[in-house]
Amino acid sequence: DGGITQSPKYLFRKEGQNVTLSCEQNLNHDAMYWYRQDPGQGLRLIYYSQIVNDFQKGDIAEGYSVSREKKESFPLTVTSAQKNPTAFYLCASSIRVERAQYFGPGTRLLVL
Amino acid sequence: GESVGLHLPTLSVQEGDNSIINCAYSNSASDYFIWYKQESGKGPQFIIDIRSNMDKRQGQRVTVLLNKTVKHLSLQIAATQPGDSAVYFCAEKYYGGSQGNLIFGKGTKLSVKP
C-alpha cells in the first residue's frame, strides 16, 4: 500500500446521507485520484487532482465531491445524489499525472 | 503456461509453471503501460511498467512485452507461485491526453494450483 492510507475500511451509508472517505499519502506525490470498482469491473475514475486546490472530474463524477486543501489529503464525499454508491473505492497517488499510480487499500461502501 | 486474452478472464496454471497474461489495448497513441496485481479485497499493486519506446522490460520474475503493431501487451510470470494468485490488470496512458487517468482493462484472474 506504500504510504497511502484509506479509512475507514468499511463504511455504511443510510439513505439520503452524505459520507466522506479519507485518503492520505506521505509520498510527497503531487497527483491524487479516486476510483470506483464494481464487482468484475475495471476501475473507473471519479475525480483527480494534479496539485493542491485543483481537481478535475473523471468519467463518473456525478454524485461525488472532493477537496484538495493539503498535498497529502484528498477526501471523497459520496452525496445523497449518488443513487448507487455500493462499491469498492480506491484512492491512488502519483509523483505527477504522467507517472505510475500507487493505490491505497480501499474502502468498501455499503448502503443500509 | 497458457496465454489468454481478456475475453477469457480466468487463467489456471500449475505451481512452478510460467504464466502469460495478455492485454489488448485500445489507443494506438498510448505510450505508457502498467501492469497491476490485485488480491481479493485489496488495492491494486504496481508490478511493472513500460514505455512505448521499448518492447520488453524485465523485473523480478516478471517480464512485460509490448507489440505496438498489434496493440498487444503481455505479462509473463516465471515459476508461478501460489502467492501470485490474483487479478491482473493492464493499464494504458495516453501521454498527450488532457485527462489524468489510466484506462484499465477488466482484468484476468490467475489461479495457481499447488
Q: Report pLDDT for B2.
A: 31
Closest-CA residue of chain B to A105: B43
pLDDT in tens, A55-109: 999 989 999 999 999 999 999 999 998 989 999 999 999 998 878 999 999 999 9
Supply the DSSP string of B46-104, one letter for each residue.
Answer: EEEEEETT-SEEE-SSEEEEEETTTTEEEEEESS--GGG-EEEEEEEE-TT-SS-PPEE
Is the preceding peptide bond at B82 cis, omega within 30 degrees of 0? no
Q: For residue A3, give the C-alpha cell.
A: 504510504
Closest-CA residue of chain B to A39: B106
Q: Which of A50, A56, A98 sits opposite B95 (nearest CB)?
A: A98
Closest-CA residue of chain A to B90: A42
Task: For an interface test with B, give the residue of A21, A43, A47 to mutate (most B CBs within 10 A).
Answer: A43
Burial A38-65 (b: 16+ CB within 10 A, else e): eeeebbbbbbbbbeeeebbebeebeebb
Provide the pLDDT confidence category of residue A25 given band limits of 50, 70 and 90. very high
Does B81 touch chain A if contact means CB atoms closer than 8 Å?
no
Provide the pLDDT confidence category of residue A4 given band limits of 50, 70 and 90. very high
pLDDT in tens, B31-86: 899 999 999 999 999 999 999 999 999 999 999 999 999 999 999 999 999 999 99
Strand partners, B15: none
pLDDT in tens, A37-68: 988 778 999 999 999 999 999 989 999 999 99
Q: Report pLDDT for B100.
A: 60
Provide the pLDDT confidence category of residue B28 given band limits of 50, 70 and 90. confident
Distance CA B79, CA B18 (A): 5
Q: Report pLDDT for B97.
A: 56
